[in-house]
Amino acid sequence: MDSLLNILKGAAPALATAVGGPLGGMAVKAIADKLGVPASVSEVTKALESNPELALKLKEIDTKAFEVEQQNVTDRWKADMSSDSWLSKNIRPMTLVAILGAYFVFAMMSAFNISVNESYVKLLGEWGQLIMLAYFGGRTAEKIMGGKK
């Protein structure tokens, strides 16, 4: 399994994540179907090791999956913005402000020597990174992909 993950990490990182995740068996089966080999980790690994061009095929699949994912996010955000609901239009900025506000409060508490559980600060930091990446990075990816078309 480790050798398959190493091959996939270089060629198709999203597929590597899927194979290493809880639905890994389904991901291996999908990859095997695309490559035309039996659906087992050892067969997929052998096929990729013996024919590096198959790794390029997986890279194309990975890229297409990313484009589809980004298009789905764009469509969802467009649907939110066309809605009549104030909340659906503002949920992402409100979430970002709430997470950053809580992070700031914990930082100030720490500055005044008030004990703060480090795991909460770490969790808020990770959420903040995720939200900022989706909010700002997603829009950047949309512009890049739109420019290539």
Query: Is 25 within the bounds of a domain?
Result: yes
6 and 45 housed in the same domain: yes
Give the pair of three-digit tokens for residue 27: 């991901």
Q: Which one is predicted more confidently, 61 or 46?
A: 46
Say which residue the tokens 């013996």 belong to: 50
49 contacts 6 by C-beta, under 8 angstroms: no
At 125 the pLDDT is 84
Q: Of 14, 22, 13, 16, which Cα lies nearest the Cα of 4?
A: 16
Query: Is 73 within the bounds of a domain?
Result: no
Give the pair of three-digit tokens for residue 73: 């996010």
90 and 60 housed in the same domain: no
What mean pLDDT, rounded, does the chain reach? Answer: 78
Query: Is 118 within the bounds of a domain?
Result: yes
How confident is the model over 90-141, as pLDDT tens digits?
887 888 889 889 988 988 888 898 888 888 888 888 888 888 887 777 767 6
Give the pair of three-digit tokens for residue 24: 């890994």
Type of residue at 106: F
- Does the pTM of the predicted model rise above 0.75? no
Give the pair of three-digit tokens for residue 12: 């198709």
At 11 the pLDDT is 66
CB atoms within 10 A of CB 93: 11
Q: What is the DSSP letter of 134?
A: I
At 19 the pLDDT is 72
